[in-house]
Copies of this chain bind each other. A is one copy, B any other.
Amino acid sequence: MKKHIAIIGLGLIGGSIGLALKRSGLENAELTGYARNPEVARKALKLRAVDKTGESLTSTVGKADIVILATPTMAIKEILEKIGPHLISGCIVTDTASTKAKVMEWAGQYLPSRVNFVGGHPMAGKESAGIDVAEANLFQGRTYCLIPGRNASPASIQLMVELVEKMGANPLFITAPEHDNFVAGISHLPLILSSTLVMATTKSPVWEKMSGLAATGYRDVTRLASQHPRMNRDICLTNRENILLWIDEFSRELSRFRQLVASNSEDLEKAFTEARQARESWLEDYDKRD
């Protein structure tokens, strides 16, 4: 029997999921896309990220065996509340939000127990947003976090694993609190550092002259500042405590580094050497995954 998969939200992530699943040669499955903006849905259809587009949110999810929510994080609460009564029994609902504790809480609150919720978060992205930058290999070799909800059946969890593998990604089971703490360190803290670096430099009275000297180093360290502001806000709203802890940890480490610079310390080269080795060691593992 044909599986009906609904993708709600057809931006970079939703569009890329569609493209990745279609490339995998998903048999006996039909992808229906829905986006609030019909223009975006038409584009997704044209790019063959989906097989067809839905008329409305509720009618799209009402026929689906699997519902993938790929909208901004703060929109998920309202969507879960709205779709709850329309979902078929035994269907699987998943999401792709950057934080998980709040989403799991909302799912528990708004989804009927006959529905299997399995939270998800693909560790992949770009600073650009939208269907235009979607690509089939966005998730290739990447970690894809999965957080089964209380009511999720073993079969539904198994199906999510298969789906993630079809996207080319590596499923990783993790708890929501662990997930949110980890991503605060490796993703949200870097985002805030990028944005703060842009603010600190560009508001300088000499920025106009100074900007002519900025090159690839500045470009790369500030890259995350170009992420979508709404997405960034949602991240902060739903992961505040972890982000504050990581900012404080970073500030302590920065004070330590400042002290090494201020004192012309012999440990300065050692500190840079340690940082370099730690990064290279991570990068080696990371590159292997591709």
How large, as a class, is the contact surface on chain A? 35 or more
A254 to B247, CA, bound (A): 8
Q: How far is the CA of A41 from the CA of B41 in the complex (A)?
A: 59
Tell me the bound Cα distance from A166 to B150 in angstroms: 66
A183: CB under 8 A from chain B?
yes
Copies of this protein in the assembly total 2
Q: Which residues of B contact A228 (CB under 8 A)?
A: 276
Q: Is A28 an interface residue (CB 8 A)?
A: no
A214 and B269 in contact, given A201-B186, A206-B181, A257-B192 (Cβ under 8 angstroms) = no
Once A124-B216, A206-B182 are accepted as A-B contacts, the answer to whether A224 and B225 lie under 8 Å apart by CB is no
The B-contacting residues of A in range 223-276, CB under 8 angstroms, are 223-230, 232-233, 236-237, 240, 243-244, 246-254, 257-258, 260-262, 264, 268-276
9 A–B contacts from the bound complex (CB under 8 Å): A125-B217, A145-B213, A181-B210, A200-B250, A211-B282, A214-B282, A220-B220, A227-B276, A248-B258
Known: A195-B257, A240-B264. 9 other contacts (CB 8 A): A172-B212, A182-B209, A182-B213, A199-B274, A211-B282, A233-B269, A237-B268, A247-B257, A248-B258
User: B-contacting residues of A (Cβ < 8 Å)?
Assistant: 123-126, 142-143, 145, 172, 178-179, 181-183, 185-187, 189-202, 204, 206, 209-230, 232-233, 236-237, 240, 243-244, 246-254, 257-258, 260-262, 264, 268-276, 278-280, 282-283, 285-286
